[in-house]
Amino acid sequence: MARITTRPWTIMEICGGQTHSIVRHGIDRMLPAGVTLLHGPGCPVCVTPAAVIDAAAAIAGRPGVILCSFGDMLRVPGDHGSLLAARARGADVRMVYSPLDALAIARAQPQREVVFFAVGFETTAPASAMAVLQAQREGLENFSLLVAHVLVPPAIEALLADAATRVQGFLAAGHVCTVMGYRQYEPIAQRHHIPIVVTGFEPLDILQGLLLCIRQLEQGRAEVENPYSRSVRRDGNRAAQDALARVFVTRQWHWRGMGEIPASGFGLAPAFARYDALLRFGGIAMAPEQPGECIGGEVLRGHSKPADCAAFGTRCTPEHPLGATMVSSEGACAAYYRYRRPRAGPAASGGQ
Residue 54 sits in the same domain as residue 12: yes
Q: Indicate whether 1 belongs to any domain.
A: no
Residue 50 contacts residue 146 (beta carbons within 8 Å): no
Q: Indicate whether 30 belongs to any domain.
A: yes
The three-state (H, E, C) secondary structure of the chain, written as one string? CCCCCCCCEEEEEEEHHHHHHHHHHCHHHHCCCCEEEEEEEECHHHHCCHHHHHHHHHHHCCCCEEEEECHHHHHCCEECECHHHHHHCCCEEEECCCHHHHHHHHHHCCCCEEEEEEEECCCCHHHHHHHHHHHHHHCCCCEEEEEEEECHHHHHHHHHHCCCCCCCEEEEEHHHHHHHCCHHHHHHHHHHCCCEEEECCCHHHHHHHHHHHHHHHHHCCCCEECCCCCCCCCCCCHHHHHHHHHHEEEEEEEECCCEEEEEEEEEECHHHHHHEHHHHCCCCCCCCCCCCCCCHHHHHCCCCCHHHCCCECCCECCCCCCCHHHCCCCCHHHHHHHHHCCCCCHHHHCCC
- What is the separation, in whole angstroms, between the first and last Cα of the chain? 44
Across the chain, mean pLDDT equals 92
Q: Indicate whether 215 belongs to any domain.
A: yes
Residue 210 contacts residue 21 (beta carbons within 8 Å): no
Tell me whether residue 112 is exposed, middle or buried, using C-beta atoms within 10 angstroms of its C-beta: 0 to 12, 13 to 18, 19 or more: middle
Residue 211 sits in the same domain as residue 309: no
Residue 349: predicted pLDDT: 33
**Total domains present in the chain:** 2
Q: Tell me: pLDDT of 352 over 60.
A: no
Residue 29 sits in the same domain as residue 178: yes
Residue 244 sits in the same domain as residue 300: no
Q: What is the CATH number of the domain that holds 10?
A: 3.40.50.11740
Residue 228 sits in the same domain as residue 250: yes
Region class of 161: left (phi > 0), else alpha (psi between -120 and 50), else beta? alpha
Q: Express as a percent the part of the chain with pLDDT over 70.
A: 94
Q: Indicate whether 348 belongs to any domain.
A: no
Q: What is the pLDDT of residues 308-318, one digit of tens each?
A: 999 999 999 98
Q: Indicate whether 324 belongs to any domain.
A: yes
Residue 66 sits in the same domain as residue 129: yes
Residue 173 sits in the same domain as residue 318: no
Q: Indicate whether 329 belongs to any domain.
A: yes
Residue 289 sits in the same domain as residue 322: no
Residue 89 sits in the same domain as residue 198: yes
Q: Express as a percent the part of the chain with pLDDT over 90.
A: 82
* Residue 287 pLDDT level (bands cut at 50, 70, 90): low
- Domain ranges, residue 300: 296-342
Residue 188 sits in the same domain as residue 324: no
Q: Indicate whether 127 belongs to any domain.
A: yes
Residue 230: predicted pLDDT: 95
Residue 77: predicted pLDDT: 86
Residue 50 sits in the same domain as residue 80: yes
- How distant is the alpha carbon of residue 50 from its chain centre? 14
Residue 160 sits in the same domain as residue 63: yes
Residue 114 contacts residue 99 (beta carbons within 8 Å): no
Residue 334 contacts residue 46 (beta carbons within 8 Å): no
